[in-house]
Amino acid sequence: AQSVTQLDSQVPVFEEAPVELRCNYSSSVSVYLFWYVQYPNQGLQLLLKYLSGSTLVESINGFEAEFNKSQTSFHLRKPSVHISDTAEYFCAVKDDGSNFGNEKLTFGTGTRLTIIP
């Protein structure tokens, strides 16, 4: 069984300040890791993902996340946030694909990021 813990349900941050959204996971098998973003009244959009290789992954809009296997973490960071980053952010894990057919994503409960002007 897998689980994802997002320790902060809400994170308020001033515009142009840095932010870190925390994600820890538990799994008995190797995993892929994802961050999805959900804007109000919309579905989920993939922000970034870690499948293999470099443990630091980046998105096109300035977010980055680092996979830390020893700490089972995949924290999301951005050095300077913008008003448009206001959204709900979900961390998710799935099996690394060695068991083909199991596409189940296990999500955390989400972190609501609010940017303060």
Partner 1 sequence: ETGVTQSPTHLIKTRGQQVTLRCSSQSGHNTVSWYQQALGQGPQFIFQYYREEENGRGNFPPRFSGLQFPNYSSELNVNALELDDSALYLCASRGEGYQETQYFGPGTRLLVL
- Beta bridge mates, 65: 57, 76
* Minimum distance from residue 61 beta carbon to partner 1 (Å): 16
Nearest CA to 85 among 24, 33, 18, 23?
18
* Minimum distance from residue 41 beta carbon to partner 1 (Å): 8
Q: What is the signed CA dihedral for 28, 7, 113, 30, rounded to 10 degrees?
A: -10
Interaction of residue 105 with partner 1, rule CB under 8 A: yes
* Minimum distance from residue 14 beta carbon to partner 1 (Å): 25
The footprint of partner 1 (CB under 8 A) covers 4, 32, 34, 36, 42-46, 49, 51-52, 90, 92, 96-98, 100-110
